[in-house]
Amino acid sequence: MVAEGPASQRRKILVAVDGSDGSELAAEAAHRLFGDSAEYVLINVDVGSSTPLGDPLVAGSVPGSVSSGSAWPVSASSGSESRRLMDAVAEHAQLDHPGTLSATGDAAAAIMDAAHEHAVDMIVVGVHDRSWFSRLFDRSTGRHIVGSSDVPVLAVRHGHQTTSPTVHADGLLVMVATDGSAASLDAARTAWRIFGPQARYEVVHVAPERPDPNADATGFAGPLIDDEEADEIERETLVNADAVVAETAQAIGPVPITETVVTGDPVRRLCDRAEEAQADVLVIGSSGLSGVLHVLLGSISEHVLARCEVPVLVVPADSRR
């Protein structure tokens, strides 16, 4: 569980490894954010060696690995390949003697079980771009974890390039997205507890653009609102946006915080702002959508993952850390 005080204990971070470049990038991003002060555990799941459903599961590990009561047993051959993959990721990301854990079965379930078993502060995954049509039939492990985990998930989009393992001289820039919801406020508090007072913070809210009086006009009825009414709606929207940003900033902590309001499409504007400011991480609350609704519509957080070049920390909607 995340510490109650800001960054008051060594963080425990579970990094999912699948042998792809995305795993290396995800581990590298985590190391850049948390450095050598964190405790890293790498997990690799052999999805081709599932234990039959209903059979008892026995704890197992490869030599030198972290043993988990929820881990599936692994064969010597799969254990050797698993260790090779995790060693390669550890070397690439410059992780110093991380713990390792091997399992078989459903990858997302095994990773989330391990997160609970080892009481980690967050899960780190690489994610890949997928269209809405693809998500109907095959959700990637990373996206499944983001949508289902009750532990914060740091997601690094495949193709994201970390610049340097060295933290900015003036500290990490943590950007917190907010819409004024309880999930947003919880995400802000979680950001504070994870990154603490040594980081810099910017709170960003994306407000609707000024309504166009002619957008819904017809040849018979004409515009539904006039320019004066459109201006008034815009003023009220921006006043509300300023209040949302201020409330979220207050939830973070007693540090100087940049408050930013932009207008337009939420996903595009959030990602543009994060990239423009060169944020080290974008923190966003999960909408909590599930089932068919989530598959068809997704959520702001999931669409951000597909678009954003900055690592995204997704805080579950029911997080109480």
Query: Would you write out the chain's pLDDT as a tens digit for each of its 321 residues?
Result: 343 445 556 889 999 998 788 889 999 999 999 999 899 999 999 876 543 322 222 233 333 343 333 333 333 345 688 889 999 999 999 999 999 999 888 899 999 999 999 999 999 998 865 544 444 444 577 778 887 889 999 999 865 554 444 455 678 999 999 999 898 999 999 999 999 999 999 999 999 888 777 666 555 555 667 778 888 888 998 999 999 999 999 999 889 999 999 999 888 999 999 999 999 999 998 864 444 334 333 466 677 887 888 999 999 876 544
Homologous superfamily of the 167-313 domain (CATH): HUPs (3.40.50.620)
Q: Supply the DSSP symbol for 68.
A: B
Q: Report domain extents, the chain.
A: 1-166, 167-313
**1-166 shares its CATH topology with 167-313:** yes
Q: How far apart are the first and last CA of the chain?
A: 7
> Which one-letter amino acid corresponds to residue 57?
L
Residue reference for tokens 């109907």: 136
> DSSP E strands: which ranges in the chain?
12-17, 39-46, 99-104, 122-127, 153-157, 173-177, 200-207, 257-263, 281-285, 312-315
- Picking from 20, 17, 13, the residue whose alpha carbon sits closest to that of residue 36 is 13
Which fold does the domain 1-166 belong to in CATH?
Rossmann fold (3.40.50)
Burial category of 51 from C-beta neighbours within 10 Å (exposed 0-12, middle 13-18, buried 19 and up): middle
Which residues, 6+ apart, have CB-to-CB distance to 158 below 8 Å? 20, 21, 22, 25, 126, 127, 128, 129
Backbone angles phi, psi at 175, to 5 degrees: -100, 125
- Picking from 43, 9, 47, 16, the residue whose alpha carbon sits closest to that of residue 30 is 16
Do the Cβ atoms of 42 and 15 come closer than 8 Å?
Answer: yes
Please say whether the dihedral angle defined by the alpha carbons of residues 42, 111, 64 and 23, taken in this order, is positive or negative: negative
